[in-house]
Amino acid sequence: MENTRQIGVQNKQSGRIYGGESAEERLARQRRQFLDAGLELFGTVGYRATTVRMLCKQAGLTDRYFYKTFTDTEDLLAAVYTESLDQIQTEVITAINASANEQLANGAIDAGLEAFFTAFENARVARVCWLEVLGVSPRIDELYTKRIEQFADLLLDLGKSMLPDWRLPEEETRITGLALIGAISQSALHWLLEDYRSSRSTLISANGRLIRGLINTLPQGV
């Protein structure tokens, strides 16, 4: 009874080459195709109007491969959102670091804002990150919350490093960071919804003013 299994032993995780790709390469490529399809469809027709069939057609694959990598369209949405924000966050950090060595807070602020708004000039990315991701499910809501908090922390760390004696209470600091992210993201959202009517420099200027204004109100210990 057990020796019958010996026949089928090697077909378990054979993962042979097909079309010049290994099993892992195929899986990775399929995943990428679905991620691209997700960004395209979620960012244009929207998440709730996107079906598995549409995603497969856009990706040029069949549903079998969709379910091999993702459990749900919600699962794919989370992956697309995470990837987009990962990249943007990296770009913002890079931009800040590149200009922060001058020890000039203003330069770092503007550089960060510039990188941020430049990234969201991609309407699909903007739509997914600010419009489609909200109110989908508790799981996605939590993902969103954590990501926003992450961004707020990034901003606050930058601020604290530049203002050595930070005197605001912990809780108010947290809320202030979130509020700032809210200001920046609402700007980006309206930019998108108004078809990028305003210029990027105006957004940077307005939000930079907000940030600098905040810094001035901080209780100074010096």
Q: Which residues bind a copy of itself (CB under 8 A)?
A: 46-48, 127, 130-132, 134-136, 141-142, 144-145, 148, 171-172, 174-176, 178-187, 189-190, 193-194, 198-199, 202-203, 205-207, 209-210, 212-217
Q: Does 24 bind DNA (CB under 7 A)?
A: no
* Half-sphere exposure for 159 (CA within 13 Å, toward CB): 22
Partner whose binding site includes residue 32, from a copy of itself, DNA, none (CB under 5 to 8 Å by kind) = none
34: phi then psi, degrees, rounded to nearest 5: -70, -35
Of 62, 87, 106, 198, the one binding DNA (CB under 7 A) is 62
Site for DNA in 116-175 (CB under 7 A): none
Pick from 152, 149, 93, 145: nearest CA to 119: 93
3-class SS shares of the chain: helix, strand, coil, % to 5: 70, 0, 25
The residue type found at 206 is: A
Q: Does 28 bind DNA (CB under 7 A)?
A: no
* Half-sphere exposure for 148 (CA within 13 Å, toward CB): 23
User: Taking a C-beta distance cutoff of 8 angstroms, is the pair 74, 139 a contact?
Assistant: yes
Binding range to DNA, per CB under 7 A, among 13-21, 113-121, 198-206, 212-220: 13-21
Partner whose binding site includes residue 145, from a copy of itself, DNA, none (CB under 5 to 8 Å by kind) = a copy of itself
CB of 49 or CB of 193, closer to DNA: 49
Other beta carbons less than 10 A from residue 190's beta carbon:
13
**What is the greatest pairwise CA distance in the chain?**
82
Q: Quote the least distance from Cβ 18 to DNA, whole Å.
A: 4
Partner whose binding site includes residue 6, from a copy of itself, DNA, none (CB under 5 to 8 Å by kind) = none
Q: Quote the least distance from Cβ 148 to DNA, whole Å.
A: 27
Distance of alpha carbon 28 from the chain centroid:
20
Q: Contact residues for DNA (CB under 7 A)? A: 7-8, 10-11, 14-20, 23, 26, 51-54, 60-65, 67, 71-73
